[in-house]
Structures are given as C-alpha cells and as structure tokens.
Amino acid sequence: MPGISTAVYQEIQLFYARQMRLLDEGDTMAWAQTFEPDGVFDATALPEPVRGRDVIESSARKAWEAMAADGIQRRHWLGMLDAQEQDDGTLVARTYALVFTTPRGGGSALQVSTTCEDVLARAGGALRVRYRTVHRDGQPGGREA
Amino acid sequence: MPGISTAVYQEIQLFYARQMRLLDEGDTMAWAQTFEPDGVFDATALPEPVRGRDVIESSARKAWEAMAADGIQRRHWLGMLDAQEQDDGTLVARTYALVFTTPRGGGSALQVSTTCEDVLARAGGALRVRYRTVHRDGQPGGREA
Amino acid sequence: MPGISTAVYQEIQLFYARQMRLLDEGDTMAWAQTFEPDGVFDATALPEPVRGRDVIESSARKAWEAMAADGIQRRHWLGMLDAQEQDDGTLVARTYALVFTTPRGGGSALQVSTTCEDVLARAGGALRVRYRTVHRDGQPGGREA
C-alpha cells in the first residue's frame, strides 16, 4: 500500500483536531478558512455538494446556531486515519468520523457514524480541504449521477 | 517505560486504520492477509482461538455476511495505542477497541468496548498480526488453562 | 498556528494511552506518578481543584474502588489532540475525552463527553501533568473566581 511520511500523517491528525474544534466551538469563520476558497463539502445525504468557502461558512454557522439555541454541544471525532500522498502533491485522507452531542445539563450520546474522505492541498505551508466527502453509515451509497 | 520510535508508532496507527476498514467494508480476503499465515485470533469470549489465516478469513466472512444480510454497517475504532519493540524484533501493541454498528436507515450505537493486544511482525516490510488477543469489557478475564 | 514536532506529538499520544490505562485498570499509584508532586487535577464540575499527587491518588482510588465494587469497567478515550510547545519548555495539550463504562455481563455505554487541557512538563525525560483541566460537556463553563 502506498506510503505516507510520519511527519505528514501526524500533521493531518493535528489539522483535524484543530479544524473540528473550531467547528464544535462555533468559530465557523476560522473553520471555513481550513477549506480552499473554492473548496467543496459534499455530504452525500444532502441533495448537492456545498461549494465555496462562503457558503460552507454560512451553512455551518446556521447549523451551529440552531444547536446552540437548543443548548447542544457537538463534538466531532475523526480517527482511524488512512492517508496517501498523490503524484500532484495533494493528499487523500480517509477517516472514520463520529459525532457526539450533549444537551445542557443532559447526557452525551452518539449521534452519527460516518466516513470522511478528503482531498487536502497546501497553501503557504498549511493544509486545507479541497474536497470533502462525508458518507453517513446506514444511508444509501451516493447521489445519482 | 520502554520506548517505540515515532515512525513505528505511526506505522501501527496506519496499519490498524487500513486493517479494520478492510474488515468493516467486507474485504475479508485482504483482511486475512494482514495476519501471518499461521496467525492467531484469540477472542477470549470464544471457546478457543481461531488459528490460521484461512480460518480467520472464513470466520470473518461469515460474521460479515450475517451483518450485511441484516443491513448492518460495523465500524471498529482502535485507539489509545501503547506499543513496544521486543528484543526479537516483534512489536507488542495494546489498544482500546470499540465497535459501533448502524442498521440501514437507523441510528448508530456502541456495540462493545474491548481491549486488544497484538504481537506484530514484519514480512517484506509490512506489518502483520502474529497473535491477537481481544478481551471484551464486562466479561470474565480469560479462558481456563 | 504554532507547531509541535512529530516526535513530541506522538510522545503525548503514547503518554495518554499509558496514563489512562493505568487509571482504568486500577493502578492509581502508578497513575498518580504521571502527575508532578504538586500537580493539579481541576475538574470544573467539582467545587475545587484536587492539589498534589497524594490527594489525586487517593481520590482516584476511591472512585475506582466504588466502580470496581459495582463491577463496572471504565475506559477513558482521549483523542483529537492539539498540542503546542511553550516558551518555557512546557507543553499545552488539548484533547477531547470520552468515558465509556461496561458493567459486569452488561452492555457498554458512553458516560460523558469532556474536553481536557493539560500543561505537561518533563522530569527525567518523561512527561508529567502539571495542571489538568477537565470540562464536562453540558455543564456550566467554570467556577466562580
């Protein structure tokens, strides 16, 4: 199986830790900056991919505000990272992703189990998401072409 | 406590990510190749260890087909990795392992919490499992000698 | 964002794997040694921080014995690690932390979702916790000053 350097593997782990905490704590502006300006967020449960950093930001903010209004804290766990460097310098990173939620004063619960596949590229040294595909377990495989 | 190199620690993380995804997505042939030909899978809940790659494969396939028939997607999460290099060149890797399941169209749930201890060895550069012991939390400690 | 070396990032992952397993398996003496002699464990749900290795040990032992008496196995999962080296040589490590419990003969369950922030320092080469802050999701933000 194709390799990945130790340093880059760890860099992706750190990238995800920081990226998902930004989202979970409501800093959707900073979170959107972790995507390329024309990055794509493709959750296969949605009718179509969300295209562009601005739309990714407003869509994430709406979702976050709805949960905050309900007093719900969300936590994204990405793990079981597989990653490969591509010939064009991008990275393909595949993870399992769980979402846990906790209502104010209540108990924590597993919300969904998903798989995430990212194409990551560098800009000024930092990783950014070019294309993210999230598929929720238990749902049909993908959109019709 | 004995050390492990950064590179090998990361290599084990990647090994587990790829290995468990093979199992979770039903490629039990490729999954069985991640064991040595005479590798052992010892789940202490079972009456005896499963010995040999062929039996490991057929046993995993049977389990996977039963779940697929029920429309259940399984995800193995290994984490909290502790690992040590042994004098004979093998590695001992200890992890916590959770199994999450999601029925078609349904909600995800934690199935079991276990601990996993592997003896890993190299063949042609790649890691393979020589002996895996899985102990399920909440069950008696082990088999009678 | 400030960096962290690959080697130190991995070292922290290994530190947490070993530290939390000591706690989960009841070796609270060895667990307490992973704190500095005057280390602090600050769970914001408690009226005040627990100060000093001896008190950390006895408090952990009491909690562990209560669960063992009820036949409950606890597992701490730390993940989504973000870490930075500070100018004074200490490390700040931020993680998500989940606690899963399994009663004897019963099913496993998610107990709590928390965030953990550690100040880690070195003693004789090994990492130790100087100050740990644990905040439980769904609870108020912190103590009154």
**C145 band by pLDDT with thresholds 50, 70 and 90:** very low
Give me C19's structure tokens.
């530290």
C8 closest CA partner among C75, C68, C80, C93? C93
List chain C residues with CB under 8 Å of B81. Answer: 13-14, 17
Distance of CA B76 to the CA centre of its chain: 8
Q: State the smallest CA–CA distance between residue B23 and chain C in angstroms.
A: 22
Nearest CA to B1 among A143, C113, C125? Answer: C125
Q: Is A101 on the interface with B (CB under 8 A)?
A: no
DSSP chain A: -----HHHHHHHHHHHHHHHHHHHTT-HHHHHTTEEEEEEEEETTSSS-EESHHHHHHHHHHHHHHHHHTTEEEEEEEEEEEEEE-TTS-EEEEEEEEEEEEETTS--EEEEEEEEEEEEEEETTEEEEEEEEEEETTS-S----
- Chain C interface includes A96 (CB < 8 A): no
Selected for mutation to probe chain A from C5, C81, C113, C136 (highest A CB count within 10 Å) is C113
Contacting residues of B for A4, CB less than 8 Å apart: 14
- Please report residues of C whose CB lies closer than 8 A to that of A10: 6, 9-10
Residue C20 to chain B, least CA–CA distance (Å): 8
- In this structure, which amino acid lies at residue C14? L
What is the pLDDT confidence band of residue C2, given thresholds at 50, 70 and 90?
A: low
Contact B79, B65 (CB under 8 A): no
Residue numbers in A near B98 (CB within 8 A)? none
In angstroms, the Cα distances linking B100 to A93, A96, B113 are 21, 11, 9
Q: Encode chain B (145 residues) as per-residue pLDDT tens digits.
A: 457 999 999 999 999 999 999 999 999 999 999 999 999 999 988 889 999 999 999 999 999 999 999 999 999 999 999 999 999 999 999 999 999 999 999 999 999 999 999 999 999 889 999 999 999 999 986 664 4
**So what's the pLDDT on residue C142?**
61
Go through chain B and tell me how many residues it has: 145
Q: In what order do the strands lie in the sheet with A50-51?
A: A50-51, A35-43, A126-136, A109-123, A91-103, A72-85
The pLDDT tens digits of the residues spanning A38-86 come to 999 999 888 899 999 999 999 999 999 999 999 999 999 999 999 999 9
> Which of B64, B21, B59 has its CA nearest to residue B39?
B59
Whether residue A2 is predicted with pLDDT greater than 60 in this model: the reply is no
Query: Pairing relation of β-strands C126-136 and C109-123?
Result: antiparallel
Give me A86's structure tokens.
């591509």
Q: Does C29 touch chain B (CB under 8 A)?
A: no
Confidence of residue C44 (pLDDT cuts 50, 70, 90): confident
Looking at residue C143, its pLDDT comes to 62
- Rounded Cα gap, residues B100 and B16, in angstroms: 16
Say if CB B92 and CB B117 are below 8 A apart. Answer: yes
Nearest alpha-carbon partner for A36 in A106, A116, A97, A90: A90
Confidence label for C119 from pLDDT (cuts 50, 70 and 90)? very high
- Reduced to 3 states (helix: H, G, I; strand: E, B; else coil), residue C20 is helix
Which among A6, A81, A138 has CB closest to B6? Answer: A6
Taking the C-alpha atoms of residue B31 and residue B28, their distance in angstroms, rounded to an integer, is: 5
Q: Is the pLDDT of residue C89 over 70?
A: yes
Which positions in chain B touch C78 (Cβ < 8 Å)? Answer: 80
C81 C-beta neighbours (distance < 10 Å), count = 22
Give Cα separations from C17 to A110, A141, B66, B82, C12 (angstroms): 22, 35, 34, 6, 9
Q: Is the pLDDT of residue C18 over 90?
A: yes
Residues 52-91 of chain C with CB under 8 A from chain A are: 79-83
Distance CA C67, CA B88 (A): 39
How large is the average pLDDT for residues C93-120?
97
Express as a percent the part of chain A with pLDDT over 70: 95
Task: Please report, for residues B38, B51, B141, the alpha-carbon distance to residue B145 in angstroms, rounded to integers and kept in the order given.
Answer: 21, 17, 12
Those residues whose C-beta lies under 8 Å from the C-beta of residue A64, and which sit 6 or more positions away, are A23, A26, A28, A74
Q: Give yes or no for a contact between B133 and B117, defined as CB atoms under 8 angstroms apart.
A: yes
The partner residues of A98 in beta bridges, in order of sequence, read: A77, A113
User: Is A106 touching C (CB cutoff 8 A)?
Assistant: yes
Whether residues C138 and A103 touch (CB distance < 8 A) is answered with: yes
Give the residue-averaged pLDDT of C45-71: 95
Q: What are phi and psi of B99, to 5 degrees?
A: -120, 125
Chain-centroid distance, C-alpha C37: 15
B123 touching A, CB under 8 A?
no
Q: Is B21 helix (H, G, I), strand (E, B) or coil?
A: helix
Instruction: For residue C68, give Cα distances in angstroms to C50, C58, C74, C76, C117.
Output: 22, 15, 9, 15, 27
Residue A142 pLDDT: 61
| More reliable by pLDDT, C74 or C142 | C74
Question: What's the distance, CA C134 to chain centroid?
Answer: 8
DSSP bridge pairs for C97: C78, C114
| pLDDT exceeds cutoff 70 at C73 | yes
Q: Is the pLDDT of residue C32 over 60?
A: yes
**pLDDT digits 0-9 by tens, A74-108:** 999 999 999 999 999 999 999 999 999 999 999 99
For A110, the closest of C9, C80, C110 (CB atoms) is C110
Contact indicator for B91, B103 with CB cutoff of 8 Å: no
Report the C-alpha dihedral over residues B68, B73, B74, B80, rounded to 10 degrees.
160
Q: What does the pLDDT read at residue C1?
A: 46
Q: Which chains touch B (3 or more CB pairs under 8 A)?
A: A, C
Q: What backbone phi and psi angles, to 5 degrees, belong to B144?
A: -70, 145
